[in-house]
Amino acid sequence: MDKQQIKKNKLDLEYHKLTQIFNSVLTITITGIFGFIGSFIFLEDKNKLAFGLTLSAVILILIYGVCNKIDKKLNQILKEIENI
């Protein structure tokens, strides 16, 4: 194997690793948020409901940042693969 093929294989493996992380983060986040919001739906105390929704929004914003960072890295890897 030449060095270009080895480099391409390493980038391909890293790309697949990041896609798995991306999918896992999305799956866990969506499942967690639905469960979290679902537990607050039947509360009569509006303060707890507002707190739960605010906390969910903060978590979603943080997860958006993580997903955005992973997406940028995936695009960078694709460009590197194209340049090989």
Measured N-to-C along each axis, helices 3-41 and 46-83 cross at an angle, to the nearest 10 degrees, of 170
Structure tokens at 76: 């960078």
Do residues 13 and 76 make contact, with C-beta atoms less than 8 angstroms apart? no
Domain boundaries, the chain: 3-83
User: What single-letter amino acid sits at 22?
Assistant: F
66 CB-near residues (< 8 Å, 6+ apart): 25
Task: Per-residue pLDDT tens, the chain, 84 aa: give them.
Answer: 788 899 999 999 999 999 999 999 999 998 988 888 777 777 777 787 788 788 888 988 999 999 999 999 999 999 999 988
